[in-house]
Structure 1
Amino acid sequence: MQFLKRSFLPSLLILSLLSCDSKEGEPSPQLPGISINDLEISERKEDFSITLDVTLSEVSADLVVVSYETMEGSAVANQDFKHITGQLIFQAGSVRESITITILGDEKMEDDESFSILLFDPANAVMNDSSALIVIKNFDTTPPPNELVIPTQGYTSPESYDGWNLVWQDEFDQESLNTEDWTYEIGNGHSGWGNNELEYYTNENTSMVDGNLVITARKESRGGYHYTSSRIITKNKQEFKYGRMDIRAVLPFGQGIWPALWMLGANIDQVSWPACGEIDIMELIGGNNRDNTTHGTAHWSGANGYANYGGSKKLSSGIFADEYHVFSVIWNESSITWLLDGVEFHVIDTTPADLSEFRNDFFFIFNVAVGGNWPGSPNTSTVFPQYMIVDYIRVFQTQ
């Protein structure tokens, strides 16, 4: 095994960034603790990047600096991963920074391997965790991976409708996610986004493949959770009041898998949920013969508290992972109608006064959750990775 000599960066760099003046006799302030979590990932054939979050236990009024370096274990530097060294700088008020490491892909049949990222020389902080172990699960110690296959079959919706104007679309033909329209939500939110979900959302689990947006759910550890996925939103970027929304997608499958294409009221920060309203264009609850059923639901704050009204549609054959389907809503000042492949299957009358949430602007959310109150946890029948493949989203409004 090659030993990597730790390289210390000049202390003058740290000294130049920090203000260490204190008045004699003043008590020393309590320093924040620095933490980093272990990570378990699955090997891939191609190179890919991982991101490790480094966090402070509390906000600091001072600049915080910590050095880092990768250290070999059974995984070899520049053969299994790219060796890196550097410094993280937390600006005053910041509690989260990240380290990105490149994992080098291969197709060898070998045992699991591991290496570490070491943290050292903290300034204006104390060390809660001085290292994180990164375990690379290799092909011969994990079930065969579910390969990404882009279907060639399925329903396609019209590009225009009489009496409607196309006001926004994303065909996902670009090389990366358009961040002028979309924002990544990172982490696990509060109590698993309110659903006790088991995944940690990253910006690494979204990719563009052959003109499709692909959200990938993986069985790997991140941030204290054992699955990763992605959740993207158009909040403050693309928001709409009324229209026809068409989304062409192929869905993942399996116990504990919970994909959703949905909308929330843009005023959620002011009034909270469910008073902001929620329109679930599509939800699927995987496993237990449920991979052939899509759900469309409205949620709101009714006269007697939280209220919802939903409907579902089952395929006559096959499951939603087999080919493309188009999930749609037609939303106006008096109703919301859900359609699958252009055929209506559910409608709600929104004219009652206590459904006023649905007369405001909404934004889109695309995500694949793992686990949670509704689907339950994955089990031994669940294969990973899982993919939600989105060909396009199109929004039309009346002329």
Structure 2
Amino acid sequence: MHINLLATLLCVFLSASLFGCVSEEKSGGTLDSVINNNWQFTTSPTWSDEFDYEGAPDPKKWGYDVGSENNGWGNNELQYYTESRLENARVEDGSLTITARKEDFEGLAYTSARLVSRGKADFLYGRFEVKAKVPTGRGTWSAVWMLPTDWAYGGWPNSGEIDILEHVGYDLGVVHISTHTKDYHHSIGTQKTATKAIQNPSTEFHLYRVDWTPDYIRGFVDDQQIFNFPNEKKGSNAWPFDKRFHWLINIAVGGDWGGQQGVDEHAFPAEMKVDYVRVYDLINPSK
């Protein structure tokens, strides 16, 4: 990701004084740009997992993406995603734990889990919250994100992607919120991204949020807005976000981004903890 010099200098200054910084260079517009000020959300969640039970993730809410790079997911990752294996995904003590492990499994050297709500909980617009701790360790790449359920506009990135939280272990403390579309994605240098440096992301829970409406997608960290991507009304190449999307929660190992500085095999097992995920429906009293 490329940050202009002014943003970089500002980051350095704020990191030294407040340990907080936001880069807006590719966030899709000024943080206050709004097309419709009347969008509101329900005050109580309409779907959630509070992880207030024990054992495997609730099968009524979560399934698994299973396998390796051979499944066509890309990114040159090193892990094998397992299914219903408590060593990689378990619920206990009020939170979900995703664990990436260094172990031989199905011909690969690492295992992890990738939970998906596809077909069990799919959404069109809303407020999406996750309270999480990210893993440490060079080579980890953790994410809570959303993909299209129906791929109505074609394969990635044409049908879109919404990243509510991304973190790579070699850049501890810097979190990312992004969107990807056919016109705006990292492969062609046009990705819309915001970043923020935060304190104690691995030892304290932080709140990550995306508000998705027909007019914009906005991202927040601990209720501070850092990201805004407006609907430019240019069609699905720029805005494919008028179709159903679903949750994904995972830790990848290595990969094109997570492995840019190699993988520290001594960093495993590496854990991401999720206190809850919540969805609030979009409402619009003025219409």
- Common fold: TM-score over 0.5: yes
| C-alpha separation in 1, matches of 2:184 and 2:250 | 30
CA distance in 2, matches of 1:389, 1:252: 8
Q: Which residue of 2 aligns with 1:110?
A: none
Distance 1:210 1:329 in 2: 26
Structure 1 residue 163: Cα displacement: 4.9
The structure showing larger relative contact order (alpha-carbon pairs under 8 Å, at least 6 residues apart) is 2
Q: Does 1:333 align with 2:214?
A: yes
Report if the CA contact (8 A) 2:53-2:92 is conserved: no
- Do 1:265 and 1:357's aligned partners in 2 also have CA atoms closer than 8 Å? no
Change (3 A) 1:389 1:195: same
Say whether residues 1:396 and 2:277 are aligned partners: no
Which residue number in structure 1 is paired with residue 202 of structure 2?
Answer: 321
Bigger Rg, which one: 1
Distance 1:303 1:184 in 2: 28
Q: Secondary structure at the match of 1:190?
A: helix
What is the match of residue 350 of structure 1?
Answer: 231
2:114–2:251 CA contact under 8 A, matched in 1: yes
Give the SS at the match of 1:235: coil
Contact 2:41–2:127 under 8 Å retained in 1: no
* 2:175 is the alignment partner of 1:294: yes
- Work out whether residues 171 and 391 of structure 1, in 8 Å CA contact, stay in contact via their aligned partners in 2: yes
Deviation readout 1:34-60 (Å, 9 max, x if unpaired): xxxxxxxxxxxxxxxxxxxxxxxxxxx
Count of residues paired in the alignment? 234
Once the two structures are TM-superposed, the CA of residue 173 in structure 1 deviates from its matched residue by: 1.3
With over 3 angstroms needed to count, the CA separation of the structure-2 counterparts of 1:219 and 1:192, relative to structure 1, is farther
CA distance in 1, matches of 2:246, 2:71: 22
- Residue 386 of structure 1 corresponds to 270
- Verify the 8 A CA contact 1:325 1:341 in the aligned structure 2: yes
Counterpart Cα distance in 1 of 2:164 and 2:70 = 23
Which residue in the other structure is 1:166 paired with? 45
Distance 1:162 1:243, change over 3 A: closer
The partner residue of 1:224 within 95, 103, 107 is 107
Q: Tell me how far 1:374 sits from its aligned partner.
A: 0.6
Q: Which residue of 2 aligns with 1:6?
A: none
173-182 vs 207-216, which moves further: 173-182
Judge conservation of contact 1:164–1:398 (CA < 8 Å) in 2: no
Offset of 1:166 from its aligned partner?
1.9
Q: Which moved more, 1:297-306 or 1:384-393?
A: 297-306
Quote the offset at 1:266 in angstroms.
1.2
Unaligned stretches of 5+ residues in structure 2: 1-39
State how 1:301-316 maps to structure 2 within 5 Å.
301-302=182-183, 307-315=190-198
The residue identity in structure 2 corresponding to 1:339 is F
Residue in structure 1 matched with residue 65 of structure 2 by the alignment:
185
Measure the CA separation in 1 of the matches of 2:184 and 2:89: 39
Contact 1:247–1:391 (8 Å) recurs in 2: yes
**Distance in structure 2 (CA, Å) of the matches to 1:392 and 1:228:** 23
CA contact (8 A) 1:191 1:197 kept: no
Q: Distance in 2 between matches of 1:312 and 1:276?
A: 23
Distance in 1 (CA, whole Å) between partners of 2:152 and 2:120 is 15
Q: Distance in 2 between matches of 1:163 and 1:236?
A: 23
Shift of the 191–237 alpha-carbon distance from structure 1 to 2, 3 Å rule, reads closer
Identity of aligned residues (%): 35
Measure the CA separation in 2 of the matches of 1:269 and 1:284: 28
1:1-399 equivalences in 2 (<5 Å): 163-175=42-54, 176-190=56-70, 193-203=73-83, 204=85, 205-268=88-151, 271-287=154-170, 290-302=171-183, 307-315=190-198, 318-353=199-234, 354-376=237-259, 377-379=262-264, 382-399=266-283
On the 8 A contact 1:244/1:395 being kept in 2, the answer is yes
1:172 is displaced (CA, Å) by 1.0
Matches of 2:168 and 2:47 in 1, distance apart? 29
1-side partners of 2:276 and 2:251: how far apart?
Answer: 17
Counterpart for residue 11 of structure 1: none
Deviation at 1:319, TM superposition (A): 3.3
Conserved 8 A contact 1:291-1:319: no
2:184 and 2:271 map into 1 onto residues whose CA distance is 39
1:268: how far off? 2.5
CA deviation after TM superposition for structure 1 residue 300, in Å = 0.7
In 2, the alpha carbon distance for the partners of 1:198 and 1:276 equals 26
Q: Which amino acid aligns with 1:345?
A: I
Structure 2 CA distance, aligned partners of 1:221 and 1:343? 41
User: Contact conserved, 2:41 with 2:126, CA < 8 A, in 1?
Assistant: no
Residue type of the alignment partner of 1:373 = D
Q: State TM-score, norm by structure 1.
A: 0.56
